């Protein structure tokens, strides 16, 4: 394997008596789109700041291309940051904002600077806006100037700290496509910070799900969505029905007093577990054709599905995205497939989880999604 562009090993960060990062190990490969995802205050920005060199790790190591860079000043690192508030200079026009970092380096001719600014503005589709004042731009355009200002320096890596949070929903979605497209065109590594799980799922090659100073799980959006490692991840990513259950034996789990075939394996017989079923993997049918009977509490029509809330005989609440409508008070059967059941151990580390999946991968293939 080629050397990762960034490697953090056992990174801790303490402010006064508070431990903000508690042993972060991450590796980022060249040319991929990575996202740090987690609730406010979990330490995402602190990781960016350590990589950028704006703050240092209390302990642990930071490598860039295999070289330890803990003590390298920020301005000598081949990374640039796009901040949440853009941090543009309001008294300069678009061209001068983008040219600022190049001029500061004092090694480029005027013609070089003009050429590079033009290229950067073209990349973000603002080539015609070079002479505009910042105050004459929309929020989305200002965001693109901030990105142009970062990429004009030709960094090997771009750090993006919640860059879309100030935009309205429609613009935010457009910018998600644009950023993803830009990353692929430039071929440089992006490390993107967000607390928005939909944004992370839509944009990333790989996501690091964080909580309280730890990376809980890393993987592709599909891996994390389909195989959340624990309750926090299952709850944070997408919508979930999470139930307590018992793993009877490999490929057989019990919940709500019934036993079901499932894909999971590698737990102790009769081990207590949690079971995740995604609302979109459930549908409703007649009670006799269902795997479980539930009573409908309410429903909302959402355009392409009916969002149903129901309760089972153990009083667990179920969220169902059904293709069929239902009426409050009605008893219906729930349908789902063995591969829609995701079983989680109660206290499993990511390393143990990965090892278990690898061990049981062949067996899982038997009941996996076709």
Ligand X SMILES: Nc1ncnc2c1ncn2[C@@H]1O[C@H](COP(=O)(O)OP(=O)(O)OP(=O)(O)O)[C@@H](O)[C@H]1O
List residues binding ligand X (CB under 6 A). Answer: 15, 20, 38, 40-46, 195
Closest contact distance (angstroms) between CB of 48 and ligand X is 8
- Could you list the beta-strand ranges (E) of 235-337: 241-249, 252-255, 258-261, 271-277, 283-285, 292-301, 306-311, 317-322, 331-335
Nearer to ligand X by C-beta: 16 or 288? Answer: 16
State the nearest-atom distance from the C-beta of 51 to ligand X, in Å: 12
Nearest-CA neighbor of 296 among 329, 323, 335, 336? 329
Nearer Cβ to ligand X (2/40)? 40
Residue 41 or 325 having the CB closest to ligand X: 41
DSSP class of residue 2 equals: P
Rounded to an integer, what distance in angstroms lies between the CA atom of residue 347 and that of residue 187?
38
Closest CB to ligand X among 2 and 18? Answer: 18
Minimum CB separation from ligand X for residue 218, in Å?
16
**Nearest CB to ligand X, comparing residues 19 and 363:** 19
Query: 194: which residues sit within 8 A by CB, 6+ positions away?
Result: 35, 36, 37, 162, 164, 165, 200
Nearer to ligand X by Cβ, of 28 and 120: the residue is 28
φ and ψ at 173, to 5 degrees? Answer: -65, -45
The Cβ of residue 80 has, within 10 Å, a number of other Cβ atoms equal to 21
Find the shortest distance in angstroms from Cβ 16 to ligand X. Answer: 7
Residues 6+ apart with CB under 8 A from 177: none
Q: How far is the CB of 201 from ligand X (least distance, A)?
A: 17
Q: Cβ of residue 49: shortest distance to ligand X, in angstroms? A: 7
141 vs 194, beta carbon nearer ligand X: 194
Count CB atoms within 10 A of the CB of residue 94: 26
Beta pairing partners, 241? 277
Nearest distance from residue 303's CB to ligand X, in Å? 31
Structure tokens at 49: 């700041």
Nearer to ligand X, 21 or 147 (CB): 21
Shortest separation between residue 140's beta carbon and ligand X, angstroms: 21
Q: Which strands form 271-277's sheet, in the order they lie side by side?
A: 258-261, 252-255, 241-249, 271-277, 342-345
Q: What is the DSSP letter of 133?
A: B
Nearest approach in angstroms of CB 230 to ligand X is 19
CB atoms within 10 A of CB 180: 17
- Closer of 45 and 141 to ligand X (Cβ): 45
Shortest Cβ distance from residue 21 to ligand X (Å)?
Answer: 8
Indicate the residue whose CB is closest to ligand X: 45
- The residue whose two tokens read 């503005």 is 121
Please tell me the distance from the alpha carbon of residue 357 to that of residue 87, in angstroms, as a whole number: 44
Phi and psi at 324, nearest 5°, equal -110, 145
**200 or 334: CB nearest ligand X:** 200
Residues in Cβ contact with 217 at an 8 Å cutoff, skipping those fewer than 6 apart: 208, 209, 224, 228, 229, 230, 233, 350, 353
């Amino acid at each position: 394997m080629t050397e990762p562009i960034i490697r953090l090993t056992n990174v801790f960060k303490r402010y006064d008596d508070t431990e903000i990062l508690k042993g972060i190990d991450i590796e980022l490969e060249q040319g991929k789109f990575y996202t740090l995802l987690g609730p406010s205050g979990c330490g995402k920005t602190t990781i960016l700041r350590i990589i950028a060199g704006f703050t240092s790790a209390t302990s642990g190591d930071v490598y860039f291309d295999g070289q330890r860079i803990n003590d390298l000043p920020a301005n000598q690192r081949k990374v640039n940051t796009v901040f949440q508030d853009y941090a543009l200079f309001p008294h300069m026009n678009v061209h001068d904002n983008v040219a600022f970092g190049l001029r500061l380096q004092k090694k480029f001719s005027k013609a070089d600077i003009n050429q590079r600014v033009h290229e950067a503005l073209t990349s973000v589709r603002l080539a015609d806006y070079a002479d505009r004042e910042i105050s004459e731009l929309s929020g989305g355009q200002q965001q693109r100037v901030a990105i142009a200002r970062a990429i004009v320096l030709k960094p090997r890596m771009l750090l993006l700290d919640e860059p879309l949070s100030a935009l309205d929903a429609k613009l935010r979605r457009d910018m998600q496509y644009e950023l993803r497209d830009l990353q692929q065109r430039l071929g440089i590594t992006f490390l993107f910070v967000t607390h928005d799980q939909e944004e992370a799922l839509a944009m990333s090659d790989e996501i690091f799900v964080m909580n309280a100073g730890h990376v809980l799980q890393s993987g592709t959006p599909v891996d994390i969505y389909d195989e959340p490692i624990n309750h926090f991840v299952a709850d944070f990513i997408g919508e979930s029905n999470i139930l307590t259950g018992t793993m009877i034996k490999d490929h057989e789990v019990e919940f709500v007093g019934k036993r079901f075939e499932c894909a999971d394996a590698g737990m102790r017989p009769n081990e207590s577990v949690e079971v995740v079923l995604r609302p979109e993997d459930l549908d409703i049918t007649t009670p006799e054709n269902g795997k479980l009977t539930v009573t409908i509490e309410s429903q909302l029509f959402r355009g392409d599905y009916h969002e149903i809330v129901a309760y089972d005989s153990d009083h667990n609440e179920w969220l169902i995205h059904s293709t069929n409508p239902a009426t409050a008070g009605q008893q219906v059967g729930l349908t789902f497939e063995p591969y829609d059941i995701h079983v989680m151990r109660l206290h499993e580390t990511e390393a143990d989880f990965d090892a278990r999946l690898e061990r049981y991968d062949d067996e899982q293939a038997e009941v996996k999604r076709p």
